[in-house]
A and B are shown apart, each in its own frame.
Chain A
Amino acid sequence: MVKTNRDSLLEVALIGEITHSAVAPSYTTGWDQRPRIGLGQGGIVYNVKVGDPCFGWEMGEKVEPGASADGVGDEREKGAFRNLSCVGNRIKVVGGEAKGEWGTVVGKVGYIHGGGHHVVTHFDDETLEKLAIGDKAQIKAHGTGLRLIDYPNVRVISCSPRLVEAMGLKEKANKIVVPVTKVVPAIYVGQGHGGSPAEANNWEIQTQSPDAIAHVKGLRFGDIVMLDDILSAWGRGYFEDAVTVGVVSCGPSDSLGQGIGVTTLLTCREGEIIAKVDPEANLKSLLGLGGGDR
């Protein structure tokens, strides 16, 4: 077992609410100059869950599985919800008909240029039926400050101790071996460069060029993936030999430079992390989440 400092982490409450579905006010122009209406961002998506395929949803644009929440209050308070929540944290509905039901944080999506921020959550079908847009939900945030004690050059970002312990990390010749479903080369990595911090904003795997689509067409929501030559510490960008490991948190896009969302979990600059391809490296099995049987 990889040693962590989990006993010194603070566990704090963050309050947010279930968002509306986010749809652009006019047609969006795709990479091919054709107009589209995209749906599936934000709000409650009843029939897409962690474990389901990213591709194949009609007119889907950056589809977020399950229910999406954002912080409430002023910008600093919203910032706490977006920055401090960690994948694998538990979230409890604290208002409305679903009050008292628990779910799990499965990703975070943040668009750089004035766009929305969503913490993506998984609830079971029964809870989703009772959930309403605007319902308040509280996260027991646990993970900010998490370190792998013997690997000081690896940064852990937005990753709960629960997830880091479930990911099946192994140690080999002073490197961390991480099971991932796919390794993605930097050339396919688009929006996210330059955006800071990695805690609140996601990476996107570009899904317009046919070769890029072919490379990632089998991805599922919740997949653990590796972005090669990508660094997510103190800002985000291309660095030869750097690695970012993240979780697939939203679906593909038809807009140039945009696509499948990846929420950062681990990053390093000099190859301290290596990948082991494992088709089972998905939050559904790692965290024991129901649904997603498509």
Chain B
Amino acid sequence: MIETNKDRLLTIAVQGEIVSPASAGYRVQWDGQSKMALGMGGIKYNLKVGDPCFGWASGDHVEPGVTIRGKEKADPSECALAMLACIGNEAVVVSGDAKGERGAFTGRHAGADDMVWFPDDALEKLAIGDKVQVRAVGVGLKIKGFEDVRVNKCSPRLLESLGIEVEGGKLVVPVVKEIPGFLMGSGIGWSTVLEPVDYDIQTTDPKAIKKYGLETLRLGDIVCLRDQLCTSGRGYYKGAVTIGVVVHGASDYSGHGPGVNPILSTKDERIATRIDQGANIAYYLGLRKRP
């Protein structure tokens, strides 16, 4: 069992609004064909963390559950919600018919979208434009004895539920899959701020999808990114290890695919992994029953 500094963390209210899906017409896929895509923004009644990343008709970058955005600044990525909300934080609806319903923050899709899980009966009452408030706690989180490991966008609740063991001076983290660093695509290098930005496991090369078994990835999966360092920004560093949460679905746009929010990162051999097909935040946060 790991120990943390969770009793020293500030807990702060941050707020967003449920946004409408948006469409600007056709977009070009990796193969030169065009696509009218859906699955980003708004309320997805039949897509939740724990569901597959692939296989949704015309879906692209599908975002599970409810998509909200901070509104206090023009750029959602600069809002407090984007910077401070951590995966596993409690969310509560503060306006509209679903007022008082509770859910959980499940990740951030760079550019604009923050994602929240709500139970089905709450989804039926929610409307686009409703306000959702998140009790943000997790920024500054550190693991005792592993203070050099960068923790990002990870609530104490999630960190403690990951099933981390300490062996031989390393954190051993259960993950569903190891991803080679050269598959990391869109989002790499963007800005030197880590918190508001995910980056994509590329799932456009048919050969790579097959070779690395990427088609089994699920929303909410915990994955290991090899040779990737996520401290300030995201990028290649030989020997580095990053653990992340899959926050959105696959894509047909070249260089894109399931997005990952990094939650733990080191360049100094401080993290090892163990394969566990149940390593998914839907189970860890009690949002779905284990099969």
Contact = CB atoms under 8 A, between A and B. Distances in A.
A209 B236 contact: yes
A206 B186 contact: no
A190 B188 contact: yes
A204 B233 CA distance: 15
B147 to A, nearest CB: 13
A113 B204 contact: no
7 contacts: A29-B232, A33-B232, A113-B190, A209-B237, A239-B30, A239-B207, A257-B190
B253 A238 contact: no
A209 B236 CA distance: 7
B204 A257 contact: no
A193 B185 contact: yes
Contacts of B180: 187
User: Main secondary structure on chain B at its contact with chain A?
Assistant: loop
Contacts, number: 146
B182 interface: yes
Contact of B254 (A196, A210, A212, A256): A196
B232 A256 contact: yes
A190 B208 contact: no
B31 interface: yes
B255 interface: yes
A75 B237 CA distance: 36
Nearest to B239: A209
Interface string B239-258: 00000000000000111100
Nearest to A238: B202
Interface of B: 28-32, 180-192, 200, 202, 204-205, 207-208, 211, 227, 229-238, 253-256
Interface string A200-233: 0000101011111000000000000000010101
Contacts of A257: 188-190, 233-236
Give the interface residue-count category, chain A.
35 or more
Nearest to B205: A239
Interface of A: 28-31, 33, 112-113, 185-196, 204, 206, 208-212, 229, 231, 233-242, 255-258
A211 B237 CA distance: 9
A148 B185 CA distance: 29
A191 B190 contact: yes
Nearest to B236: A206
B254 A194 contact: yes
Contact of A206 (B189, B208, B231): B189
- Give 6 closest A-B pairs by Cβ, nearest first: A194-B186, A191-B189, A235-B254, A257-B189, A257-B235, A237-B255
B254 A33 contact: no
Contacts of A239: 30, 204-205, 207-208
B182 A187 contact: yes
Contact of B235 (A206, A231, A242): A206
A242 B235 CA distance: 21
Residue of B181, B185, B200 with most chain A CB atoms under a 10 A cut-off = B185
Contacts of B200: 193-194
B233 A256 contact: yes
B264 to A, nearest CB: 16
Contacts of A30: 192, 232
Contact of A194 (B187, B205, B236): B187
A112 B256 CA distance: 14
B192 A238 contact: no
Residue of A210, A255, A257 with most chain B CB atoms under a 10 A cut-off = A257
Contacts of B232: 29-31, 33, 255-256
A111 B134 CA distance: 32
A147 to B, nearest CB: 15
A112 B191 CA distance: 10
